[in-house]
């Protein structure tokens, strides 16, 4: 009906955008009626172009993509506006036609490659299935095409891997398979919803590179959804910034990064942790304080360095943790040694599965070591009885990654914070209440929040509650296992600053376990890099980041996306080589004794 206002393009013609969203509003049904979650979204993507939608959790970026695919449940969500693919309005199509569009004209890849492949079918079978369904190929032809697709997404030795099951593929390889599936029917548009968020940073770089190359070869339009400004800078031609369901700003990516107009965009850009902003500063440095009203940032204060001459809070020596399985032995942690001083942050970095969390869990005695010793406050925790172990709980505490799962949903946060104090009998009941108030204030929450339940808090607030709970017993050491990884960028900076402030005021020692190199660079005094259960490089932060010696450390640092569109495409990651490498070894395997070279004082690098 609006043919004049919105000229309908003939399918297949090259002019005009491939994909166009026009005044899209999607509402969800709530007990109080329909509530819009995204309002008045308009954008378009041309052939061969990448548009990124960027925003924090709850900004509506995924809802936008799901609306475009019409994947939201019909009875609980409705979309108004128009969504054109090649001139056809997708919102007016019938469900049968829409099914042809999905997977046919629009390909989609999701965040979680580990769970999006069916474990009981081979990779080749799952790839061929899509081809048989959408392109009416015979199974034999489909398998041949599947092989071609696996070559296209650069899976090494594709022919032999075609008949393997998903569990033999690493996360990155699985995401390649997912991309191959999305490409199977030569879609006009590829929607990538946080495709690299669950992947390690070195693999993220490879996948982003692959998507860029494929886009060039196929001349596809790509809609890229992400929360990571670094990734936006790497991939997007144009960018849409979303905030709480509204489009805040849109424009060419380089212009948006160089001259953000809206305060929210400025704030988002200012809170991105950036690598290489520290120089030779010896201590950590707070993240810039960003004024949400103007988006103006002021560089953070430098934090104190560790005073020499004190005894370490925790000493880990020659720690090994192995798990025996029927088919072999997992060497999760192998001959790891380090110590942490009061007031010091040691960051333990590495990719998923490298043993960094297992090390942290061993320090908390959530995991028993196979060999080696862990000494906290001069006592070996391996030989502690139940009573001494409770004493240990007072000196060492842990903050977990998932702020949604680490608080009991049925207990108010006030009770959760009070509980350890009551259980250890450190304070009288009346004093506990005051202490809870005080702790909540210290972590930047209001004391009257004590009577609320965890589900009433945002992710960042919950993590503050977890920190308050960990502080309740006044520990000397806190093991922070990916404590800020699940948080939005602006919140990530705030919680990291809180951790640094608490360290400065209380002389806390942190074991900061993280895969996020840019946060680690800000927050830590020293860094240990783990790779397949071993520490390959350890030293003062400035030395490890400024002068990385081990090839793996270099790879890790160079793979971090740089939020600067001008440098896009200048860094080509090393060719995909990764197999599903695992620390699984035969039962009689004896790991070689590693030797280390001292590059500079305290900076040790594993010798090959």
Partner 1 sequence: MTSFNLFSGLRPLLRNRAVIVGLVILAVVLLAAILAPLLAPHAPNKLSIVNKLQPPSAVHLFGTDEFGRDILSRAMYAGRISLLVSLGVVALSTVLGVILGVAAGFFPRLDTPISRLLDAMMSFPDILLAIALVAALGPSLPTVIIALGITYAPRLARIVRGSTLVLREMPYIEAALTLGLPLWRVLTRHLLLNLASPILVQATFVFASAMLAEASLSFLGVGVSTDMPTWGTMLASGREYINNAPWLMVFPGLAIVFSVLSLQLLGDGLRDLVDPRLSKER
- H helices of 282-428, where? 356-363, 386-395, 413-424
Residue 35's contacts (CB-CB under 8 Å, 6 or more residues apart) are 27, 28, 29
- Contact between 455 and partner 1 by CB under 8 A: the answer reads yes
For residue 456, state whether it binds partner 1 (rule: CB under 8 A).
yes
Which residues in the 9-68 window bind partner 1 by CB under 8 A? none
What is the DSSP pairing of strand 314-325 with strand 371-376?
antiparallel
Q: Are 84 and 20 in contact (CB under 8 A)?
A: yes
Q: What is the contact mask toward partner 1 in residues 529 to 568, using x (rule: CB under 8 A)?
A: ----------------------------------------
Q: Choose between 294 and 451: whose C-beta lies nearer to partner 1.
A: 451
Among 436, 502, 511, 562, contact with partner 1 (rule: CB under 8 A): 436
In the set 453, 578, 596, 599, which binds partner 1 (CB under 8 A)? Answer: 453
Q: Rule CB under 8 A: is residue 389 a binding residue for partner 1?
A: yes
Angular region, 378: left φ>0, alpha ψ -120 to 50, beta rest: left
User: Judged by CB under 8 A, which of 244, 379, 394, 506 binds partner 1?
Assistant: 394
Site track for partner 1 across 485-504, x = CB under 8 A: --------------------
Residue 480 CB, nearest distance to partner 1 (Å)?
A: 12
Give buried/exposed letters for 430-451 (b at 16+ CB in 10 A, else e): eebeebbbebbebbbbeeebbe
Of 352 and 451, CB closest to partner 1: 451
Site for partner 1 in 366-385 (CB under 8 A): 366
Contacts of 357 (CB under 8 A, 6+ apart): 481, 482, 513
Distance CA 144, CA 270 (A): 49
Q: Is 521 helix (H, G, I), strand (E, B) or coil?
A: helix
Told to check if 458 binds partner 1 by CB under 8 A, we report no
Q: From CA 134, how far away is CA 118, in angstroms rounded?
A: 19
**Which one of 98, 411, 504, 580 is in contact with partner 1 (CB under 8 A)?**
411
Does 407 bind partner 1 (CB under 8 A)? Our answer is: yes
Q: Which of 78, 102, 424, 506 binds partner 1 (CB under 8 A)?
A: 424
Binding segment for partner 1 among 143-151, 188-196, 420-428, 577-585 (CB under 8 A)?
Answer: 420-428
Minimum distance from residue 380 beta carbon to partner 1 (Å): 18
Q: Which of 89, 402, 501, 564 binds partner 1 (CB under 8 A)?
A: 402
User: Please, what is the minimum distance in Å from the beta carbon of residue 446 to partner 1?
Assistant: 15
Give, as ranges, the residues between 145 and 184 that touch partner 1 (CB under 8 A). Answer: none
Tell me if 390 contacts partner 1 by CB under 8 A. yes
DSSP codes joined into one string, 226-277: ES-HHHHHHH-SEEEEEETTEEEEEEEHHHHHHS--SHHHHHHHHHS--TT-
| Count of residues that bind partner 1 according to CB under 8 A | 42
Q: Which residues contact 372 (CB under 8 A, 6 or more apart)?
A: 316, 317, 318, 319, 320, 335, 336, 337
Q: How far apart are CA 427 and CA 419, in angstroms?
A: 11
Q: How far is the CB of 423 from partner 1 (least distance, A)?
A: 5
CB of 78 to partner 1, least distance (A): 25
User: Nearest distance from residue 466's CB to partner 1, in Å?
Assistant: 7
Stretch that binds partner 1, among 12-20, 288-296, 373-381, 425-433 (CB under 8 A): 425-433
Report the residue from 124, 295, 353, 414 that binds partner 1 according to the rule CB under 8 A: 414
Q: Which is nearer to partner 1, 68 or 472 (CB)?
A: 472
At its nearest, how many Å lie between partner 1 and the CB of residue 29? 17
Q: Tokens in use for 465?
A: 């509650």
- Judged by DSSP in three states, 372 sits in strand
- Determine the 3-state secondary structure of 533 from DSSP: coil
Distance of closest approach, residue 198 Cβ to partner 1, in angstroms: 18
Per DSSP, the residues of 427-495 read S-HHHHHHHHHHHHHHTT--GGGGGS-GGGS-HHHHHHHHHHHHHTT--SEEEEESTTTTS-HHHHHHH
Query: In this structure, how many other beta carbons lie within 10 angstroms of the beta carbon of residue 206?
Result: 24
- Is position 445 an interface residue for partner 1 (rule: CB under 8 A)? no
Ramachandran sector of residue 392 (left: φ over 0; alpha: ψ -120 to 50; beta: rest): alpha
Q: Kindly state whether residue 473 participates in binding partner 1, applying the rule CB under 8 A.
A: yes
Q: Which two tokens stand for residue 132?
A: 């048989």
Beta-strand runs (E) in 104-193: 106-109, 189-193
Strand 19-30 relative to strand 289-290, pairing = unpaired
Nearer to partner 1, 76 or 390 (CB): 390
Rule CB under 8 A: is residue 360 a binding residue for partner 1? no
The answer to whether 398 contacts partner 1 (rule: CB under 8 A) is yes
Instruction: Identify the CA nearest to 220 among candidates 152, 171, 174, 157.
Output: 152
Stretch that binds partner 1, among 200-208, 246-254, 387-395, 504-512 (CB under 8 A): 387-395
423 binds partner 1 (CB under 8 A): yes
Closer CB to partner 1, 149 or 364, in the complex: 364
Residue range at the interface with partner 1 (CB under 8 A); choices 184-192, 336-344, 468-476, 575-583 = 468-476
Q: Which of 340, 323, 341 is nearest to 332 (CA)?
A: 323
Q: Is 23 helix (H, G, I), strand (E, B) or coil?
A: strand
Binding residues for partner 1, per CB under 8 A?
A: 364, 366, 389-390, 392-394, 396-398, 400-402, 405-412, 414-415, 418-420, 422-424, 429, 432-433, 436, 450-451, 453, 455-456, 466, 469, 472-473
């Amino acid at each position: 009906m609006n043919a004049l206002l919105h000229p309908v393009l003939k399918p297949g013609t090259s002019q005009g955008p491939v994909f166009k969203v026009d005044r899209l509003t999607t509402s969800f049904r709530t007990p109080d009626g329909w509530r819009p979650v995204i309002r008045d979204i308009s954008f378009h993507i041309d052939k061969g172009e990448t548009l990124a939608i960027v925003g924090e959790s709850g900004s509506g970026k995924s809802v936008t993509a799901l609306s475009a695919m019409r994947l939201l449940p019909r009875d609980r969500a409705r979309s108004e506006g128009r969504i054109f693919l090649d001139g056809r309005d997708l919102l007016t199509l019938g469900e049968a036609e829409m099914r042809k569009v999905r997977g046919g004209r629009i390909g989609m890849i999701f965040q979680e490659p580990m769970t999006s492949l069916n474990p009981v079918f081979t990779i080749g079978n799952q790839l061929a299935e899509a081809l048989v369904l959408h392109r009416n190929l015979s199974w034999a032809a489909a398998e041949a095409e599947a092989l071609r697709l696996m070559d296209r997404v650069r899976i090494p030795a594709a022919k032999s891997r075609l008949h393997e099951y998903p569990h033999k593929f690493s996360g990155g390889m699985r995401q390649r398979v997912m991309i191959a599936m999305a490409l199977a029917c030569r879609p006009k548009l590829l929607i990538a919803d946080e495709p690299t968020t669950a992947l390690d940073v070195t693999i993220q770089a490879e996948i982003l590179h692959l998507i860029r190359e494929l886009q060039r070869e196929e001349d596809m339009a790509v809609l890229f959804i992400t929360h990571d400004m670094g990734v936006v800078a790497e991939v997007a031609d144009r960018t849409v910034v979303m905030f709480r369901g509204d489009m805040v700003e849109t424009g060419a990516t380089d212009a948006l990064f160089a001259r953000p107009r809206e305060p929210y965009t400025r704030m988002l850009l200012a809170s991105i942790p950036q690598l290489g902003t520290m120089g030779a500063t010896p201590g950590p440095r707070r993240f810039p304080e960003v004024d949400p009203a103007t988006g103006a940032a002021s560089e953070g204060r430098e934090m104190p360095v560790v005073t020499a001459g004190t005894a370490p809070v925790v000493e880990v020596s020659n720690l090994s943790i192995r798990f025996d399985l029927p088919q072999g032995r997992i060497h999760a942690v192998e001959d790891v040694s380090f110590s942490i001083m009061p007031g010091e942050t040691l960051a333990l970095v590495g990719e998923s599965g490298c043993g960094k969390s297992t090390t942290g869990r061993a320090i908390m005695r959530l995991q028993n070591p196979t060999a080696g010793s862990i000494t906290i406050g001069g006592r070996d925790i391996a030989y502690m009885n139940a009573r001494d172990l409770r004493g240990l709980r007072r000196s060492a505490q842990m903050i977990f990654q998932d702020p949604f799962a680490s608080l009991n949903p049925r207990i108010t946060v006030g009770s959760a914070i009070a509980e350890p104090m009551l259980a250890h009998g450190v304070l009288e009941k009346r004093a506990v209440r005051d202490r809870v108030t005080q702790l909540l204030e210290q972590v930047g929450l209001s004391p009257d929040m004590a009577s609320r339940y965890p589900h009433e808090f945002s992710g960042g607030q919950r993590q503050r509650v977890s920190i308050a709970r960990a502080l309740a017993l006044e520990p000397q050491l806190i093991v922070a296992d990916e404590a800020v990884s699940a948080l939005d960028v602006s919140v990530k900076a705030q919680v990291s600053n809180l951790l640094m402030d608490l360290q400065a005021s209380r002389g806390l020692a942190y074991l900061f376990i993280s895969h996020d190199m840019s946060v680690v660079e800000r927050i830590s005094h020293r860094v240990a890099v783990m790779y397949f259960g071993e520490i390959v490089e350890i030293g003062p932060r400035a030395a490890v980041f400024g002068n990385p010696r081990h090839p793996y450390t270099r790879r890790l640092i160079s793979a971090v996306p740089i939020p600067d569109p001008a440098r896009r495409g200048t860094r080509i990651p090393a060719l995909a080589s990764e197999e599903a490498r695992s620390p699984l070894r035969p039962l009689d395997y004896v790991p070689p004794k590693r030797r280390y070279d001292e590059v500079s004082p305290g900076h040790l690098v594993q010798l090959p």
